[in-house]
Each structure stands twice: as structure tokens, then as C-alpha cells.
Amino acid sequence: MATLSLRRKLCREILNRTSISRGVRHTRRLSTKPPVKNVDQAIRTHKGDNVHALESESGLSSFKWMSQFGPEFLIRGEQVQVITEPDQFYQVLKLKTRKAKRRVTLASLYLGNGNLESDLVACVREACEEAVTSGNSDFEVNVLLDYTRGSRGKFNSRSMLRPLMADYKSVQVALFHTPDLRGILKRLVPDRFNETIGLTHVKLYLFDDSFIISGANLSNDYFMNRQDRYILFNDCPELANFFNDLVKAIMSFSLSLSADDSLSLAPDWDIHPYQDSDNGLRFKLAARKKIQSCLRLGESVTDIRKRDRQKVREENVADGQSSGTLPPDTAVYPLVQMGPLGVSYDEQAMLGLLRSSQPQDNILLASGYFNLTDHYMAVILDQSQAKFSILMASPQANGFLGAKGIAGAIPYSYIYLAHQFLRKVQSRQQLPRIHMMEYSRDSWTFHGKGLWYYLPGHALPSLTLVGSPNFGYRSVYRDLECQVAIVTENKGLQEQLREEHVNMYSSSSPVTEATFHRRDRHVPLWTRLVTSVIKHFF
């Protein structure tokens, strides 16, 4: 009886967490930008009634409506480099870190504890030492990790960074603790499984005015044989300032780590993430206010810069001079999703993108963990008209394959979810429009995510989404996520993006009904039963 009572308490605690998050999300939609149902109207405002008469329309103007969900930054495509291999990603991380003169900002789920990670930390140390030697007191290092993942095990992310903190006061480390992991949940849910309640999943690596946005963590596999996506922005001060401010905003309501491994609330923050008595509501509202303030700041800075550039152009034209600089050909929209805090810009932009697509459009969508929300699935199946090619990890390329305990069943849960989705596609007679693909590469795992968008009549993509979201329940409702929409008319960048997805899809094969009848795709009954419940946690 005692065990049954304990289970009931645990279930009530989970339901309480969910209801609070939903309440905050509802408040967010009532109090700020237009909700999802008004996206179509917003798109038509930018495009006119003929939403997709796009044969002659530029990519930039086609997606201008996205500016209502993220501040718009205008740059040149030459400032963007697509990285395709894990080793190249790792080498760029080390090189950029060593050469940084003003700031290094690293936001990741966790930092591994192997030799490759130690070498990366050594690069941070080298930059810190150079700043000390040169008398550069303005140099700073900010590291944001997740509390649960970064604290797992005796030798963990915290262990890797504490010596650096002890030697250099310029190094600050913050651990985000979700306000939904509290009370009986925090006491009973063991390490590793407590991560399913919620965490920070933002992956951003910034060096002075350059940065990489990715879905990759700072860990050995991600530097060697775990396929992901990585986009490098070079010398983009406005964008870099925005993302640096965003990461520091999250750090401001995270737990600050000290060199002695103790944790404390950040300065100017007095709300504990899980020890208050209001189920985290005050924390969520205050944290959301911080994020919204950061987003508004990004918008105002962008508008000021655009006005300044326009003023210079007008003055040069009046003087009969050329500005000497090429006009922007690429727009970047940061899209933030923080379900526990009621921030849903990324979800709204994604739904708008799917809903506004037309029969001539082609969308290539990738997710390392295929677990689309009901909302995303409904829009893809019943409202979107584009052709889809959906790429996911095969069981052999799933990072959980071979894991001990119940985690080892996770790849089979994804098999079950993919099969359910394919049956829905079949029942709606959508097979000619929606194709499913599996990534499989010997000794590699797959963690790629995002999408590539082809407008009608275009041989190169006009838009890509890249960052941390997987488009699943965790991404939308439980974790802190961030990605960017890159809209470009720059042929060089478009060719890079095309080459990126061609290379990724070249290691894939079609998924059909026959795929799920293979012996290695057998899903045990207990896994099928459990998946319908636990799919909201992975």
C-alpha cells in the first residue's frame, strides 16, 4: 500500500508540473505576439493574398513574416560557413577559442570528460592566460550547462571546469535547473532519468563576434562520429551580441557554480528554481520576463542598425557616392522556444512555415529523435501542401542503442512512433507527398536536426532552420531551445546548404511498410504500451 501511495503522489506531482507549464504558456500567448491561429493572416500581410506566387519573388521577401517571431538580422551570405563534419566542428571550436580576445561563450547540454574535451578546456585556458599576460581585464568566459546532465557521475562537467574557475576569475559557469524538477520528483527520480523532466538544450558556441549554432554537444562522440549540423557565422557583431545576451539571460536565473563545487543563486536573482512553495510559478514568470526583455533588446538594436545603414546609403546617394559595401542578401531570425517559461516563438514560426507551404514547395526535415508533436503531425498531414522528405535515425544510428536498462528500449520506441506516423500517412493517401528516410552509416550515430526549404522553380534552398530543437515533445514543452531561420539569396551559401543536406541524405534509405516487418524492427508489446505514456518525456 505504501508503494502504491508513493506512486500516486509521484503521478500527481508530474500532473502539477504539466498544468503549471501549460498555464504559463497560455499567459504568454495572451500577453504578447499573435497566437498560432493568426500566423496565416500575418503571412498574407507580408505577401499579399496570393501567398505563393513565388516564381518571381525573392526568398527574402517570401519569408519576411518570420520577423514577428524573432528579431531580423541582415548580413551577407559570405559571412556564413556550413560545417559538415564532426572533426571540422571540433577543430574550429579549438581554433576560435584560442584566438578569442574579448569573450568566449559556450552553451551546451553538457561538457564531456574525455581527452578531446580536456584539450578544448586547455584552449579556453590558453585564451585566459593570454588575456592575463596582455593585461586584458575585459576578457570573459561564460559557460552555460544543464544542472542534471552536467552533474551526472562523480567526474562530470563541473569537475572539468572547476580548475579553470579556480585559476581565472574571468570564468563564470552556470547550471540551469528546470523549475519542474522539484519536490517528490527531485527526491525519487534517479540520475539520468531526472533529465526527462526538463533541461537547457541550447547549443551555441561564441568567440568574440563569431559563433557556431548547432545541435551538437561538447562531447567526444560529437567530435568524431556523431552526425549533426553546425553553422558558423563570422564577424557578425549584432548577431553575436544578441546570442551572448540571450545566454547570459539564461545564466542569470541559473545556479552559479563556484570553484569549490558549491552552487548559489546568481547575483540579482532571489528566486530558487525548486525550493519555493508556489510550484515554480514565480520563477517561471520572472525568468520569462528576462527572456522577453532580451528578445525586445535584440529587435531594437536591429532596427537602429538598419536605420543607420539606410541613413548612410541615403547620404551617399545624395552626394553621388557609392557606399562601397554590398547590400545584405541574407536574413537571420533567432527563434526561441522555452516551454516551461511559456515562450513559444519557435513553435509558432515552425507552424507558420508548415501551414503556408504550397504544392510546389519542397521541405526536407531532419530529426535525430523522431517524435513529432501531435500539433506538428496534424499540420504536416492535413494542412501543409508541400512535399516532404523526413530524415530520422535508423535504430543502429540511434545514440541510445545498446544502453543499459530501460534506456536501451528507447530506439524501439522511436521505431514504434515512426511506424505510427507512416500508417497515418498511408491512411490519408499521402505517400506521394510525404516520404520517410533513415540515416544509417557504419559506426556512426545520427543527431542531425532542422530543415531545408525549396521554393518552386528553385534548384537551391532559400531557407534553413538549424539549432537545438528536435520538433518533439521535449523540444516544444519541456526544454529550453534555440535555433535560427536563415533566409538567403546568396548563391554560394545556398550551394553550401544544398551540399549539406545532399551529403546527409546520401547515407539514408527509404522507409516503407516493409521496413517495419524486418526482424530488427520488432517492437515488444510492453514497449508499445509504455511509449504512448513516456513519449512526452523524450
Catalytic positions: 201, 203, 208
Q: Which residues of 367-398 are buried (b: 16+ CB within 10 A; e: fewer)?
A: bbbbbbbeebbebbbeebebbbbbbbbbbbbb
- Helices (H), ranges, 340-438: 345-356, 374-382, 410-427
Q: Which residues of 486-512 are buried (b: 16+ CB within 10 A; e: fewer)?
A: bbbbbeebbebbbebbeebbebbeebe
Cα–Cα distances in Å, from 311 out to 117, 214, 221, 314, 317? 47, 35, 49, 5, 10
Nearest C-alpha neighbor of 231 from the set 501, 446, 475, 459: 501
Per the structure block, which three cell numbers stand in for 357?
507551404
Report the alpha-carbon distance of residue 246 to residue 207 in Å, rounded.
15
Pairing of strands 387-393, 434-439: parallel
Per the structure block, which three cell numbers stand in for 519?
526482424
Report the alpha-carbon distance of residue 333 to residue 309 in Å, rounded.
19
Cell 505510427 -> residue: 420
Q: Is the dihedral of CA 104, 223, 190, 13 positive or negative?
A: positive
Q: Which residues of 146-176 are buried (b: 16+ CB within 10 A; e: fewer)?
A: bbbbbbbeeebbbebbbebbeebebbbbbbb
Nearest C-alpha neighbor of 88 from the set 506, 503, 505: 503
| 420, amino acid identity | Q
Question: How many residues can be counted in the chain?
Answer: 538
Contacts of 317 (CB under 8 A, 6+ apart): none
| 421, amino acid identity | F
Per the structure block, which three cell numbers stand in for 337?
522556444
Per the structure block, which three cell numbers stand in for 289?
520576463
Report the alpha-carbon distance of residue 538 to residue 193 in Å, rounded.
10
CB count, 10 Å around CB of 435?
A: 17
Nearest C-alpha neighbor of 147 from the set 107, 121, 178: 178
DSSP for 148-202 reads: HHHT-SSS-HHHHHHHHHHH-TTEEEEEE--TTS-HHHHHHSPTTGGGGG--B--
